[in-house]
Amino acid sequence: MRALVDIFESLTSSIRFVIGLFVLAVMGFGLMLTLGATYVAPRAVESLAEGAERVGEKAIEAAQQERRAHEMGKDGWGYDAATTKSDRSERTSRSGSAKDGWAN
């Protein structure tokens, strides 16, 4: 009978040990998530925001340069840099067709 009680105690202590390991694993995972949300995520968001800001500034600068070049091209100060696809396609469609108002 004592052997049966020892086996039962051994089994219950093993189950308690496995459950304890599971609880520790869940607590460790929760700690990792908490630390990640507290320290890592704000730094990552901050670096992404800085990168997006730099990209936005570069896009604004490129658009301003393109607009300046286009305006200078209209006034005759620039060449080819101010011409865009729409300008080129507009010129070719007008020169290639008889719809310019003269040959109606």
Highest mean predicted confidence (pLDDT) among 18-22, 39-43, 93-97? 18-22
User: Got the DSSP string for 70-91?
Assistant: HHHHHHTS--SSS--HHHHHHH
Spans of all domains in the chain: 2-72
Residues 6 or more apart from 30 whose CB is under 8 A from it?
none
pLDDT tens, residue by residue, 45-104: 888 888 888 888 899 999 999 988 888 888 777 655 445 555 555 555 555 545 555 554
Tell me the C-alpha distance between 88 and 78, whole Å.
15
> Taking the complete model, does pTM exceed 0.85, yes or no?
no
